[in-house]
Chain A
Amino acid sequence: MSIKLEHVTYTYNPGTVYEMHALKDVTLEIPQGQFVGIIGHTGSGKSTLIQHFNGLIKPTEGKVLFENQDVWAENYELRKLRFQVGLVFQYPEHQLFESDVMSDVCFGPANEGLTQEECRERAKEALNHVGISEEYYDKSPFELSGGQKRRVAIAGVLAMNPKVLVLDEPTAGLDPEGRKEILDQIAWLHETRGITIILVSHSMEDVARYVERIIVMNEGEKSFDGSCKEVFSHYKELEKIGLAAPQITYIMHALAAKGLDVDLSAITVEEARDSILKALGKEKPCSEILP
């Protein structure tokens, strides 16, 4: 029950002047149920990488295995894979096409061959999970706000009940509040549905507080792969490839260098506050001391 990539290399337009080695010898395994972040600079190969997960593109070299089966084997049913690994592209709202929200979300399940009733059930559940209420079901998707459109588009993939949900920069172009809303909803989905979530982003700060594992991509290669703590401890190397660890990481490392015994794995402001207070021997957070 996992996605496995073995020595995957991908080249766009091989043999022409436009040849582009987008992935170079990437090997990784993502077990079922994990919440993973894939981080990298623009052009580092994140989108190319995730298109291998549901068989949209065929690796130039190497293997892609889903549940221990080679998805590019002769008789593998790629179409079935697409319903199990749901892929939400960047700016998914650009793929909406139906006249109302309900029918658009039903597109995926209908392709799966479900009856109209079942499709509606699935769609309702999915829309509910992304926080789109019933009053929007009959509206045209083009009347909705940017954030709502995106959530409808995510519901369109979610309605296929995938075991793995891959989201390519789901927060791109949203304001901070919309970003947090979407990410909270995704985290909530991970908890309630227990599905694997693979979240692509170019922002550490966004991803760090949600995921349990981070894969860092750089120029088509996997440069780090591990827990947030492990990856952020390489914050100096991360900087060199155009990424930054969360600001808290910098503060904590600076404090540790001065000899304070703080927890270097802190990511959020709250964790940092507690850890610093503890190191200073003061148990109570300020808010409880203040009148």
Chain B
Amino acid sequence: MLRDITIGQYYPADSILHRLDPRVKFIVTIVFIVSLFVNNTWTAYLVSTVFLAAVIKISKVPFRFIVKGLKAVVILLMITLFFNMIFTPGTPVFHFWIITITKEGIVTAVRMGIRLIFLIIGSSLMTLTTTPNQLTDGLERLLKPLEKIKIPVHDIAMIMSIALRFIPILLEETDKIMKAQIARGADFESGGLMKKIKSMVPLLVPLFISAFRRANDLAMAMEARCYHGGSGRTQMKPLRYHGRDFGAYIIAAIYFAVCILMRIFGRYLL
């Protein structure tokens, strides 16, 4: 029941995208997100759509799987679009009570919607094709320079990778405890809000206890293997750039350059 959440989930497949260096994927994702906000013409959105579609195709992740991740944020998306629509001044097209929808509002909302959806698809594509471990490795390497100003980059990366690792474990645990309590006649579905909140106690208490127990065990296991933070720690699979990684950088750079050019010469485009 909780397994529908795909954000932050890894989808194993054999594609170039999966094999790319996590640093590349991270930077290209950021470039892509920035490009969405550089875009201000429909032509530019079309270019971004083509770029995204091509990446999805290469990734070998089924489209259906990517869309499933969108479901979780649909409400958030709706609210954003709604407020964009009613709070943008301009030529009114629709009026009801105190709400006025304007032509400009609709355009802004549609653009905002496209940006948000692309943003979510783009970033989930990164997490779907990169294992959590690779992701934090990449992040650690990218942020390494910050150690100069005394930011504990390694520790932050380690916390992140443990947190990511724990998400599926805790989901599984939730599933198990939920089933165990349902077997004792617990009812998580019916009743009003108060009753629903109360019915969560038999789920949440064991879940917290289990999370603390696991954290404790993990800390012990790490200490037993002499973990003492990042200094002097080597990696089993150090990150190294390959030809394909430079290729990906070049393609992303070209894409971004096109986006900027379209922005500059926007007035000649649709």
Residues from chain A with a CB closer than 8 A to the CB of B270 are none
Residues from chain B with a CB closer than 8 A to the CB of A16 are 65
Q: Mark A10-27, 1 if CB is under 8 A from B, else 0.
A: 000100110000000000
Q: Mark B169-201, 1 if CB is under 8 A from A, else 0.
A: 000000011011111111100000000000001
Interface size class of A (residues with CB under 8 A): 20 to 34
B62 to chain A, nearest CB (A): 8
The complex places the Cα of A157 from the Cα of B180 at a distance, in Å, of 10
Residues from chain A with a CB closer than 8 A to the CB of B180 are 87, 89, 92, 94-95
CB distance B185 to A83 under 8 Å?
yes
B186 to chain A, nearest CB (A): 6
CB distance B177 to A111 under 8 Å?
no
CB distance A79 to B187 under 8 Å?
yes
The complex places the Cα of A160 from the Cα of B205 at a distance, in Å, of 22
The complex places the Cα of A87 from the Cα of B13 at a distance, in Å, of 38
Q: Mark A26-55, 1 if CB is under 8 A from B, else 0.
A: 000000000000000000000000010010
A267 to chain B, nearest CB (A): 31
CB distance B177 to A94 under 8 Å?
yes
Q: Which residue of B lies closest to A93 (CB)?
A: B206
**What's the tally of chain B residues with a CB closer than 8 Å to chain A?**
22
The complex places the Cα of A111 from the Cα of B11 at a distance, in Å, of 40
A220 at the interface (CB under 8 A from B): no
B187 to chain A, nearest CB (A): 7
A204 at the interface (CB under 8 A from B): no
Q: Mark A134-162, 1 if CB is under 8 A from B, else 0.
A: 00000000100000000000001100100
B230 at the interface (CB under 8 A from A): no
A86 to chain B, nearest CB (A): 7
B92 at the interface (CB under 8 A from A): no
B221 to chain A, nearest CB (A): 18
A56 at the interface (CB under 8 A from B): yes
CB distance A97 to B205 under 8 Å?
yes
Q: Which residue of A lies closest to B204 (CB)?
A: A97
From A54, A112, A142, contact of B183 by CB (8 A): A54
From B3, B12, B176, B206, contact of A97 by CB (8 A): B206
Residues from chain A with a CB closer than 8 A to the CB of B202 are 95, 97, 107
Residues from chain B with a CB closer than 8 A to the CB of A246 are none
From A95, A107, A142, contact of B177 by CB (8 A): A95
B210 at the interface (CB under 8 A from A): yes
B87 to chain A, nearest CB (A): 41
Q: Which residue of B lies closest to A108 (CB)?
A: B184
Q: Would you give 12 A-B contacts (Cβ < 8 Å), ordered by A?
A: A16-B65, A56-B182, A82-B182, A82-B185, A87-B180, A95-B181, A97-B201, A97-B202, A107-B186, A111-B185, A156-B184, A160-B185
B-binding residues in A (CB < 8 A)? 13, 16-17, 51, 54, 56, 79, 82-83, 86-87, 89, 92, 94-97, 107-108, 111-112, 142, 156-157, 160
A-binding residues in B (CB < 8 A)? 3, 11-13, 65, 176-177, 179-187, 201-202, 205-206, 209-210
